[in-house]
Structure 1
Amino acid sequence: MDLRTEKDIKHMILEDKWMMEVLQTAQTLKLSDWWVCAGFVRSKIWDHLHGFKQRTDLADIDVVYYNKDEISVAVEKNHEAALLKISPQLPWSVKNQARMHELNSSPPYLSSFDAIAHFPETATALAVKIDMNGELILASPWGIQDVIDMEVKPTPFIIENNDKKGIYQQRIEKKKWQETWPKLIVFGLDQNVIFNGNK
């Protein structure tokens, strides 16, 4: 299956029984403005584009939500515990984006979508959920072209904030995504290619 549009990505996720079970489990929490984001979506796309028959393991399954009225790490841990009770084998991580700006020394985020737009890489700034009508919704603040082109690039948020550029650099060095997905093209902060898997 070719991946060219958001519709293609949603179809691929809908066909993935495991991913749909994860989304349905997250949905049981009934969190406000919730999404499953980042590597959950990105890794699936890159696995597919690499032709992997086996899913790449995820360090975390990132569930985000937005609730300004109940900002507490303890509440997040309770949500994680509820998910673990349903699927104890999965590495759940639940974070309220109404407080996460503090960790990044940023102005308050306006929503989960706004928080996702502040992720370091465009290919990571992706999220998916099931809406109240049972429809699969994909959020991609910076579009899907970079992830489909297998290009790792900093988001405009990183590029426009000098004090945030180190976050992107550190992640590139730490994550070493090209070792897992060798067809990637990794860009530095200066927009120059630092790894090209197509050579």
Structure 2
Amino acid sequence: MSAASRIGSILRADPLRWHLLDVVRILDLPDCWIGAGFVRNAVWDHLHERSASPLTGDIDVIWYDRARTEPAEDRKFEAMLRLAEPSFAWSVKNQARMHIRNGDTPYSSSVDAMRYWPETATAIAARRQGLEGFEIAAPLGLDDLMNLVLRPSPHFSGEKRAIFEDRSQTKGWFTTWPLLRRT
């Protein structure tokens, strides 16, 4: 079974995550995904042979549309998601404008934007397609995620390395997932 299929099976086996992927799918936003800890944590829990951790922090929803880059658009979709599932902190960001905040060159898509995320194992996203289908996006690959390797993305290997180091420490990943290896 491919790594993407394994991740899909992990997400499908988690009724809450599978449901939330469907809630986001119903918004019908272009190039829309749930990424970062939503996927990463589910996989790391599975690889530690335990049930899925509760969803804490933001659920990161990314989408891409050059014609709707006002932050008010994101807030509108966050409000819709809060109405559908009020128990969660939703963070919706149109990646067509996020390069400005991050000091990067413009992104060409949501998947392109993920290449600029801090860790390779975090630059993973999922989305539902239809009732049973799913898709995984991993512009930096799935090896680190599936092998419990925490490494900075190429964009965070140089001058932004301190951000990666700070995230590694403050998020408590090595305590939560003791089998994680750092590179």
TM-score by length of 2: 0.93
Instruction: Look up the match of 1:142.
Output: 140
Which protein has greater RCO, CA pairs closer than 8 Å, 6+ apart? 2
8 Å Cα contact 1:98-1:109 kept in structure 2: yes
Distance 2:76 2:48 in 1: 37
8 Å Cα contact 1:76-1:96 kept in structure 2: yes
Distance 2:36 2:108 in 1: 18
Aligned length: 183
SS at 2:97 equivalent: helix
Deviation sequence 1:2-59 (CA, Å, 0-9, x none) = x862211112212221111101101121111000001000000011111223524321
Instruction: Look up the match of 2:60.
Output: 62
- Structure 2: give runs of 5+ residues left out of the alignment: none
Among residues 74, 85, 88, which one is paired with 1:87 in the alignment? Answer: 85
Which 4+ stretches in 1 moved above 4 angstroms?
none
Distance 2:78 2:66 in 1: 18
Among residues 38, 41, 45, which one is paired with 1:40 in the alignment? Answer: 38
* More deviation, 130-139/25-34: 130-139
* More deviation, 111-120/162-171: 162-171
8 Å Cα contact 1:37-1:128 kept in structure 2: yes
Instruction: Look up the match of 1:186.
Output: 182
Instruction: Look up the match of 2:173.
Output: 177
The RMSD of aligned alpha carbons is: 1.7
Instruction: Look up the match of 1:108.
Output: 106
8 Å Cα contact 1:117-1:125 kept in structure 2: yes
Percent of aligned positions that are identical: 36
